[in-house]
Structure formats: structure tokens, C-alpha cells
Structure 1
């Protein structure tokens, strides 16, 4: 029991620390864009560029990548815990964990920004498809969402609900608001309105990843707290 309490305390500390970091970085990004809106010269200063939410080689990009990597690692840990308990959903956690680790790498090297294979399909979206990777992103999200349905149905309702909310928030920013910002970029301006739209996008992405991390860690705690009888029931439901 003491070990379980220590694990729960550690998880709470991790969630609290990561949430605090996310909030501080997001606030810094909004403050940064507010100052830049009144002084273009500030936007050219390297120190100010470091605090952009939407940019490469920034504090926000590093934190986002680390959050994704941490979520992916947590999913792999859950897969090991479920495998030991003979719970049939463990391969799904492995797959999702690898996806999140790949997303973590992409967040640092921004590989998706160079994706042009679906440029013609993106053009069909008009201004909303200005960023050519959006069309590929829509296909990717659709495939993952459909493939995840059997997995979600086998999970405890609370875990499934938390993962669905986290995914909806993340995709709402990464694709939904991204398409709005693409339209603004191509049809209205690349100034303050576009900059603040990207802030909303990045805020939703941060929130989605953190909510996903919380869902996975809470599921891990539930696994550790379950009695042998409950674990056997979960294993039979997931098989």
C-alpha cells in the first residue's frame, strides 16, 4: 500500500510540474506576442524568438517535444503493466506509444512542414489548405481515429473518455485552428491576427498533450490499485 501511495504521489507531482511548465510557457508566449504587436523590432530579437509558441528551436517546441516523448514513454510503461496482467489492450498502448515518440521527434525537426505529397489535395481546401501538410494530417487523424475505436471500446470508460477529450482538444488545435490560421495567412494578413490565431492553436495542442499524459498516468494508477479479481475481469473484457 505504501508503494502504491508513493507511486500516486510521484504521478501527481509529475502532472503538477508539467502543468505548471505548460501554463508558464503559454503565458510567456502570449506576453511575447503582445509586446511584438506593438514593436516589430522586438520580433527580430533572438531572445524574444525563443519564447514564441509557434516556432522552431524555441522553448515551447522543446517542451512540447518532451511532453510528447513523456506521454509515449508512459504508454509503453502501461503496455508492460497490462501485459504482466494479461490484459489484451497492451499492444495498442505499444502502437500509440511509438506514434507519440515519432510525434516528439517531428516536433523538433518539423518534418511535417516539408510534407508536399498531398499538395494538390490541400489545394482543394482553398485557403484552409495553404499549409500542404494539413491534407495529410486529416488522413492520418482519420486513420488513427478509426483504428482506435476497438481499443477505446475495450478500455475502462473513464480512461477512454479522457483519451477522447485529449485527442479532440489536440486535433482541434493542430488541424482545426491550423486551417483557420492558414486561411488568415493566405487571404487576410500575416500580422497580429494570424499570430494570435497560432497562439490559440499551440495552446490547444499543449492542453491536448497534457490531458493525454494525465489520462495515461491515471490509467496506470488504476491498474496498480486494482485488486486481482478486478484485474482478471479487465483482462477478460479486453481479450
Structure 2
């Protein structure tokens, strides 16, 4: 049985989708800021809006990453290899896909905001619990998980994670500071969330590429050797 996986082609396809989504988002924003009456275009392709094409794309790609992690976990378990950290990652990404679809982090933010008087860059409170969990998660995986990976895959994991978090938390904090400022700018807000979502999508695309590369180089070769 020939198993063909082309990580570079799939990465290229994902990058094309990301580019198209960014272009349609920008076009919609240009019409919006010029007071043109085509709200349907803005709502359908605006990267910040829930329940539209970019939101479905983001949720589905994160879910794909979860499924790939689950597949790797099952393979390693079946072959007597350590798999628990892969399994945990699969569950985390499954949660993130749901979060992306229904904005669970914003509901967490409301709870934090109701209990803390936050301002400026931390005025969207969800970044605090998510940020703490990310740091703890990173420490565990940096010392226990990444050393088990081939160096190329490990660096791809680090790069994709850094890009994703830079958008999800870093740019989000800049947007929060602008949104709650006396000098709030709707244009700056649009630029921030466009960059934020672009980085998140790019990070997930690179992560999927790294998972497919791992499957191709570590699993498919093993399967061929045993058949």
C-alpha cells in the first residue's frame, strides 16, 4: 500500500486560503470604512466576526490539527511508544477549535473582568488565565516533549506556536489597549484584529505542516518497513 503525504503542497494550499481570506477581509473593510452599503460582504468575510467563512476556516484547521495529533497518539500507543503528551495536545486543540467557533475565551474574559479592575493592555481579562496556562504548558512541553522530537520538527513546533501566540495574545493585548483608550481608533482596531487572525491562521498552518511532516518521516516510513 502506497501512502502519499505531501506536507509542502498542503501548506501551500493553506497559505493560499489564508491569503484569499485576508484579501476579502481587506476589501470588505475598505467598503465598510467608505460607507458603502454592502454589509453582507463585510459580515461574510470580516475576520473578526463569528459564524462566517474565516471563523469556520480557523475552527476547522485547528480541528484538523487535533485529529492529526490524535492519530499520532494512537499510532504511538499501538507501537508501545509514549503517547500521553500527544494525547493531551490533541485534547487542547480540540478545545481551541470549539473556542474559535463560539469564542469561549471571551466568556472567560467576562468572568475575569467582573472580578478584577483591569485597564490598558490587560483590559480583556481572558489573556491572564490563558497566558498563565500557556506559560505552564510551554515549560512542561519544552523540557519533556520537544527533546523527543526530531530537531526540524521541534523547531517547527516552536515557530508555529510562537507565531500563533504572538497573534492570539500579543496583538490582542495591543488591540485591547486601543479599544479601551480615550483615543480609540476603529481603523487601528481593524488593523490589529486583521494581523492577529493572520498570525493565528499562519501559526496553525505551519503546525499542520509540521504534524504532516512528522507523520511522513516518522510514521509512514515505519508502516512501509513493517509491510
What is the deviation of 1:13?
4.6
Distance 1:185 1:174 in 2: 16
Q: Select which of 94, 104, 118 maps to 1:101.
A: 94
Distance 2:185 2:50 in 1: 17
Query: Secondary structure at the residue paired with 1:3?
Result: coil
Deviations 1:106-159 (A, max 9, x none): 1111111111333378645x3111212111221121121122121112111111
Q: Select which of 126, 129, 138 maps to 1:145.
A: 138
Structure 1 residue 174 corresponds to structure 2 residue 168: yes
Cα gap change, 1:165/1:37 in structure 2, threshold over 3 Å: closer, same or farther? Answer: same
The total of aligned residue pairs comes to 222
Distance 1:181 1:160 in 2: 30
Distance 1:226 1:57 in 2: 40
Residues 1-40 of structure 1 mapped to structure 2, 5 A cutoff: 3-4=2-3, 7-9=4-6, 11-39=7-35
Residues 36-55 of structure 1 mapped to structure 2, 5 A cutoff: 36-39=32-35, 41-42=37-38, 45-55=39-49
Q: Match for residue 194 of structure 2? A: 199
Structure 1 residue 161 corresponds to structure 2 residue 160: no
Q: Match for residue 234 of structure 1? A: none
Residues 112-123 of structure 1 mapped to structure 2, 5 A cutoff: 112-115=105-108, 116-119=110-113, 123=117
Q: TM-score, normalised by structure 2?
A: 0.88
Distance 1:40 1:156 in 2: 52
Contact 2:28 2:41 in 1 (8 A): no
What is the deviation of 1:12?
4.8
What's the Cα RMSD here? 2.3
Contact 1:122 1:133 in 2 (8 A): no
Distance 1:61 1:20 in 2: 16
Residues 61-76 of structure 1 mapped to structure 2, 5 A cutoff: 61-76=55-70
Q: TM-score, normalised by structure 1?
A: 0.84
Contact 1:57 1:108 in 2 (8 A): yes
Listed as ranges, the gaps of 5+ residues in structure 1 are 232-239
Query: Secondary structure at the residue paired with 1:50?
Result: helix
